[in-house]
Structure 1
Amino acid sequence: MFPGPGGAVLTSAPTDQETIVTTIPDIATLAGEAAAETSGTATARARSAVLETLIQRDPGRFRILTGDRPTGRLHLGHYFGTLHNRVRLQNLGVETFVIIADYQVLTDRDAAENLPEYVEDLVLDYLAIGVDPARSTIFAHSAVPALNQLLLPFLSLVSVAELSRNPTVKDEIAHSRQSSVSGLMFTYPAHQAADILFCKANLVPAGQDQLPHLELTRTVARRFNDRYGGATPVFPEPEVLLSNAPLLLGTDGVKMSKSRGNAVTLAADADETARLIRGAKTDSERHITYDPANRPEVSSLVLLAALCQGRTAQEVAAGIGSGGAAALKRTVTEAVNDHLAPIRARRAEYGRDRTYLRQILRDGNERANAVADATLTQVRSAMNSNY
């Protein structure tokens, strides 16, 4: 079930901030040697396995922060990469904050174009996939001033060298659309720390490429607590819940992207989906196999069908066999359209009442502001600047 236009939205008081800080599990103890404080993906995966167990046991101990930049419509890569996992965690009972990071559109663009449309489209996509505004707080970055005020003290806790050697920032700069790098791009990791810590999130679902950002967030939290926290820590050191999301290629054989026009969006209709998949890149070998290393384009299509059908990629490939690329594309088209049909139906229903979308955002902004104001008050008190 899902609330229709005019349905209930979250109006309850924010969860007590102190409770969130003190309920962080001792991951290192519970995971033993495998989850000790060391670096590396293997360690992060070990910690994530422990976290999954803890979430199943007591989801109320966790608060997550996740979200997207409003730079275009969400697509299947987003859906299987992050969106369905947000809904899973929400439905387990994890308190969820979903940020629409409109300020961060400016990190690699000269102007934030089409923002009202893109912001509403994000809310629409969230509702369509099952994000429930009665259980998750959906809010806009720019609507929460206290969140953004945290950036200043946080920048005082990190060095220029630490910011400049962040590999994620380096990659973003390399692929930036701007002729020169803005200060906002350079300080992006500290800004992301503010996004996470304003609500005292103690769990962040993320991909492997986000590990450097999350490590810097943990560093900021630890340094603030050491410098200003005294006997009582102000911020948790958030844990990373690594995603096992598969990598889906776009129709042109490279990573799915909003800007490349190589993805099936959640808003696409059945005919557009069929057209995009018909044009997808494959190879000249007729027999269909699942071999990501040697046949990445074909294998990505096979995997997409498997994800939509709840089957293994090997089963899908075996079912197509010598049918060739045409049979593969028919299978993928049917699988995607069948899987997205209920999502598209919900999206169409919600889309008939844009006033409802804006009300959800207003309510989410109000709650996020209450949480951020409480955090900023505590930060000012800790820094002896509450006057």
Structure 2
Amino acid sequence: PEKFTMLTGDRPTGRLHLGHYFGTLKGRVELQNMGAKTNVLIADYQVITDRDTTEHIQDNVYNMVMDYLACGIDPDKTMIYAHSAVPAANQLMLPFLSLVSEAELARNPTVKAEMEASGHELTGLLLTYPVHQACDILFCKGNVVPVGRDQLPHIELTRTIARRFNNRYGKVFPEVDALLSDTPLLPGLDGRKMSKSYGNAINISMTAEETAKRIKKSQTDSERMITFDPENRPGVSGLLSTAAICTGRSEVEIAEEIGMGGSGQLKKYVTEAVNE
């Protein structure tokens, strides 16, 4: 583990939720405790990539640090830093932008997807967003980055930038590898992607009572028999997936156990699994 330097991070746009916990936070803590050099970035500069306001950003940064600490990220072992606190990290943009062509930036599929999702036009910042991420990773000589599959094009560009920089100026930066999580994407309580804006997320900071209330309000359907069918029963299936990932059991197994217990029994089971 000592051979690896990890860099990962989040944009401070709101409280972290269960999807973040199982998707990445749990893995960060495991890497930290194995003895890898771990760095976590709070990407406050990148909030403006697809948002028109920086309102509440200071509170969001503080809350994010609290969520990290609650999940087991240890500041004695992991460097936690914000973009705005380390101007030198952002200065890498100048040499890095000279190493990539406009065509390479334009064909990044993740940038296109993010543009469509945000409804924004393609700004210069959004176009160069993967270069800024390369700055984040290479700034602390990161050689392993935990990501979802959708972020692989960004990692590939980081590798290209590091290679071209080393060829031009001498060996400075390491080769970077993606570390793919084997955790499946945790859907929200309505079966869609877990997101604060959809109101279907369970925040890490919620109390047991708030969690119970959020799960109780989630929409299911009128069918009493509980079955796992993501396409036709997104609400029921979203709840089953949440319980499955929290307990390590399969969705089908839990559905069979609840059977004719209906959505009331299902919500009770999910609440206990999440709070546990």
The TM-score range, normalised by the shorter chain, is over 0.9
Number of the residue aligned with 1:277: 215
Q: Equivalents in 2 of 1:163, 1:270: separation in Å?
A: 45
Q: Displacement, 1:260?
A: 2.4
The answer as to 2:72 corresponding to 1:134 is: no
Where does the alignment leave 5 or more consecutive residues of structure 2 unmatched?
none
The 2-side partners of 1:251 and 1:303 are apart by: 9
Whole-Å Cα distance in 2 between the matches of residues 69 and 256 of structure 1? 16
Greater Rg by CA: 1
Aligned runs of 1:149-164 on 2, under 5 Å? 149-164=91-106
Alignment of 1:133-212 (within 5 A): 133-176=75-118, 178=120, 180-212=121-153
Normalising by structure 1, we get a TM-score of 0.68
Higher relative contact order (CA 8 A, sep 6+): 1
Instruction: Give the Å deviation of 1:325.
Output: 1.4
**For structure 1, which runs of at least 5 residues remain unmatched after alignment?**
1-58, 339-387
Deviations 1:341-363 (A, max 9, x none): xxxxxxxxxxxxxxxxxxxxxxx
Question: Given that residues 163 and 186 in structure 1 are in contact (C-alpha distance below 8 angstroms), is that contact kept between their aligned partners in structure 2?
Answer: yes
Q: How far did 1:106 drift?
A: 0.7
**Residues 9-29 of structure 1, C-alpha deviations (whole Å, 9 max, x = no match):** xxxxxxxxxxxxxxxxxxxxx
Cα distance in 2 for residues equivalent to 1:207 and 1:281: 28
Q: 1:312 aligns with which of 234, 250, 269?
A: 250
What TM-score do you get using the length of structure 2 for normalisation?
0.95
Task: State the alpha-carbon separation in 1 of the partners of residues 79 and 234 from structure 2.
Answer: 38
The 2-side partners of 1:90 and 1:294 are apart by 40
Q: Please report how far the alpha carbon of residue 202 of structure 1 lies from its aligned counterpart in structure 2 after TM superposition.
A: 0.5
Contact 2:40 2:79 survives alignment (8 Å): yes
Matched, 1:286 2:227: no
5 Å-filtered alignment, 1:303-342, equals 303-338=241-276
Kindly report the root-mean-square deviation, in angstroms, between the aligned alpha carbons of the 2 structures: 1.5
User: In the alignment, is residue 252 of structure 1 matched against residue 190 of structure 2?
Assistant: yes
CA drift of 1:84 comes to 0.6
SS of equivalent residue, structure 1 residue 86: helix
Q: Percent identity?
A: 63
Equivalent residues in 2 for 1:52-131, closer than 5 Å: 59-131=1-73
Q: Which residue of 2 aligns with 1:263?
A: 201
Cα deviation, residue 280, structure 1:
1.8
Verify the 8 A CA contact 2:187 2:242 in the aligned structure 1.
no
Residue 236 of structure 2 is aligned to residue 298 of structure 1: yes
